[in-house]
């Protein structure tokens, strides 16, 4: 094995069982103490240049090699390989806490997201074929962490539970004005309008999502109470009784956190309530994986709470509640992966094999991050007035039970 590649794999893969077949056909095994839940894995390289490219930039080149078909998984699955790598890298980093890359010097540039750049970043990921997302999301197109309130829930049930969970925290009432920042395909906005009688303005930077959301609002007969616009959070004026943002904060960028929460403060009514639902990291500040940044989410970053809270404080907002959802997103991604694989041939016909392999690597890598790399989801409830929400959290559970019962009753009525 070339001199660069052997030391890299020997240094990283000290736990579990990995077999590497290099581009010359030679077999090398790296084995150590067993990692529960991760089976033995074998990978094969089909391009000799990977013998030096992988050691130089493994976090980018491994994904690109998989996309190109020059790295294949011969035993186990792609998810098994990424889980094995993630567990070993995490153990290595814990042994060497000073081994930090130069991300602190570069991430401010990478996450500089003025309005025009934010629009381009959104288009890169969300303005893909509308059919792509239909292949693996639920029917409501919820492209964020589901909420598995009880064991055995389907993805559809868990996504509906997520919307009701958020609604309970927003303390909604008929006639209230709601701003949905990053409204996606409109599912949350339409649910809030349909079940709670509120007026919703949903904003997105994706033209594909905008057109889809507007069609759904018209088909549901809710376009008199729900309006969708192509706009950035920095371009909206007026005041709202409630502000909600689900799965959008990851695109804001650390440079802009203070501005984001200042806009929430300025747009929120004096007795208003806001809720931010976003991916975070449990182990402190970090950086976006370079493969994800290049191919999936340019300008994106999932922050540690220690990076978010200071901006909330400087904006003069109360943090009235924080909830951490740990493995909910891992289970969501597992179901997305299963559905994508079931429709893989359809995607390959429409977008090509390389795109399929990119999407497989994205979904498997994302699930790995939540199972093995300290990623989680936080829901942060905010207010301007100390009296804006009840003094105990009991109201959330009570409201959620009532909403779930009402929703099940409506579903049963429709079935009859």
CATH number, residue 9: 3.30.1050
Do 159 and 284 lie in a common domain? yes
161, 213 contact by CB (below 8 A): no
Do 197 and 251 lie in a common domain? yes
As separate numbers, helices (DSSP H) first and strands (DSSP E) second, the chain gives 17, 11
Question: Would you say residue 105 lies in a domain?
Answer: no
pLDDT reported for residue 2: 55
Kindly tell me if the per-residue pLDDT of 272 is higher than 50: yes
What whole-number percentage of the chain has pLDDT above 70? Answer: 93
What whole-number percentage of the chain has pLDDT above 90? Answer: 80
Question: Would you say residue 363 lies in a domain?
Answer: yes
Kindly tell me if the per-residue pLDDT of 95 is higher than 50: no
N residues, the chain? 416
Question: Would you say residue 226 lies in a domain?
Answer: yes
Do 91 and 114 lie in a common domain? no
Structural domain that includes position 248 = 110-415
Whole-number Å distance between alpha carbons of 179 and 241: 8
CA quadruple 377, 383, 384, 386: dihedral positive or negative? negative
pLDDT reported for residue 308: 98
259, 230 contact by CB (below 8 A): no
Final residue in a domain of this structure, among 37, 65, 95? 95
Q: What is the mean pLDDT of residues 207-214?
A: 94
Do 153 and 51 lie in a common domain? no
Res. 100 pLDDT band, cuts 50 70 90:
very low
pLDDT reported for residue 99: 43
Final residue in a domain of this structure, among 43, 66, 95? 95
Three-state SS at 265: helix
pLDDT reported for residue 159: 97
User: Using CA atoms in the order 337, 340, 344, 348, what is the torsion angle rounded to 10 degrees?
Assistant: -110
Res. 113 pLDDT band, cuts 50 70 90:
confident
pLDDT reported for residue 138: 94
At 55-82, the pLDDT tens digits run 999 999 999 999 999 999 999 999 999 9
Kindly tell me if the per-residue pLDDT of 109 is higher than 80: no
Q: Which of 11-20, 95-104, 227-236, 278-287 has the lowest mean pLDDT?
A: 95-104
At 125-142, the pLDDT tens digits run 776 777 889 999 999 999
Q: What is the mean pLDDT of residues 179-193?
A: 97
225, 195 contact by CB (below 8 A): no
Whole-number Å distance between alpha carbons of 54 and 35: 24
Res. 105 pLDDT band, cuts 50 70 90:
low
Kindly tell me if the per-residue pLDDT of 106 is higher than 80: no
Res. 413 pLDDT band, cuts 50 70 90:
low
Chain position carrying tokens 């300025």: 266
Whole-number Å distance between alpha carbons of 196 and 190: 10
Kindly tell me if the per-residue pLDDT of 111 is higher than 90: no
- Overall pTM > 0.75: yes
Number of Cβ atoms within 10 Å of the Cβ of 415: 6
Do 75 and 200 lie in a common domain? no
Do 383 and 348 lie in a common domain? yes
Question: Would you say residue 100 lies in a domain?
Answer: no
CATH code for the domain in which residue 236 is found? 3.40.50.150
pLDDT reported for residue 122: 78
Do 188 and 160 lie in a common domain? yes
More confident residue, 51 or 5: 51
Final residue in a domain of this structure, among 95, 120, 145? 95
pLDDT reported for residue 335: 98
At 22-54, the pLDDT tens digits run 999 999 999 999 999 999 999 999 999 999 999
Res. 101 pLDDT band, cuts 50 70 90:
low
Do 15 and 146 lie in a common domain? no
pLDDT reported for residue 97: 46
Q: Which of 37-46, 51-60, 90-99, 270-279 has the lowest mean pLDDT?
A: 90-99
Do 86 and 134 lie in a common domain? no
Kindly tell me if the per-residue pLDDT of 278 is higher than 50: yes
Mean pLDDT taken over the chain: 91
Do 208 and 335 lie in a common domain? yes
Do 154 and 189 lie in a common domain? yes
Question: Would you say residue 171 lies in a domain?
Answer: yes
Question: Would you say residue 104 lies in a domain?
Answer: no
Question: Would you say residue 101 lies in a domain?
Answer: no
Question: Which spans in 31-154 are helix H?
Answer: 50-56, 58-68, 78-95, 103-110, 115-126, 130-134
Whole-number Å distance between alpha carbons of 18 and 314: 48
Domain count for the chain = 2
Kindly tell me if the per-residue pLDDT of 409 is higher than 70: no
Do 61 and 114 lie in a common domain? no
Question: Would you say residue 133 lies in a domain?
Answer: yes
């Amino acid at each position: 094995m070339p001199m660069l590649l052997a030391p890299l794999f020997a240094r990283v893969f000290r736990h579990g069982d990995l077999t590497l077949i290099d581009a010359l056909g030679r077999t090398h095994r790296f084995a150590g103490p067993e990692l529960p839940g991760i089976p033995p894995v074998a990978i094969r390289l089909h391009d000799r240049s990977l013998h030096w490219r992988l050691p130089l930039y493994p976090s980018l080149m491994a994904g690109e090699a998989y996309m190109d078909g020059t790295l294949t998984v011969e035993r186990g699955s792609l998810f098994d390989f990424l889980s094995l790598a993630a567990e070993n890298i995490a153990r290595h980093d814990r042994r060497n806490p000073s081994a930090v890359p130069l991300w602190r010097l570069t991430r401010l540039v990478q996450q500089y997201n003025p309005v025009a750049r934010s629009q381009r970043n959104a288009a890169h990921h969300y303005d893909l074929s509308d059919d792509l997302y239909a292949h693996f999301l639920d029917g409501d197109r919820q492209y964020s962490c589901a909420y598995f309130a009880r064991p055995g829930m389907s993805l559809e049930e868990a996504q509906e539970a997520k919307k009701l969970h958020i609604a309970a925290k927003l303390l909604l009432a008929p006639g209230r004005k709601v701003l949905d920042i990053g409204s996606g395909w409109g599912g949350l906005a339409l649910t809030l309008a349909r079940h709670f009688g509120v007026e919703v303005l949903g904003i997105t930077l994706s033209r594909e999502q905008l057109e889809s959301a507007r069609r759904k609002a018209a088909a549901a007969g809710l376009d008199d109470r729900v309006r969708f616009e192509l706009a950035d959070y920095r371009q909206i004026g007026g005041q709202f009784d409630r502000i909600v943002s689900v799965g959008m904060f990851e695109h804001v960028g650390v440079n802009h956190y203070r501005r984001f929460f200042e806009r929430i403060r300025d747009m929120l009514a004096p007795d208003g309530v806001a809720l931010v639902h976003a991916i975070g990291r449990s182990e402190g500040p970090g950086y976006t994986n370079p493969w994800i940044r290049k191919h999936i989410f340019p300008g994106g970053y999932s922050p540690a709470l220690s990076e978010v809270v200071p901006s909330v404080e400087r904006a003069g907002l109360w943090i009235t509640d924080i909830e951490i959802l740990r493995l909910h997103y891992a289970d969501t991604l597992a179901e997305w992966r299963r559905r994508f694989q079931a429709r893989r041939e359809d995607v390959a016909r429409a977008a090509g094999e390389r795109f399929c392999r990119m999407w497989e690597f994205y979904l498997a890598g994302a699930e790995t991050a939540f199972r093995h790399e300290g990623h989680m989801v936080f829901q942060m409830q905010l207010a301007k007035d100390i009296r804006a929400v009840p003094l105990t959290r009991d109201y959330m559970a009570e409201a959620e039970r009532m909403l779930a019962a009402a929703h099940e009753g409506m579903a049963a009525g429709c079935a009859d």
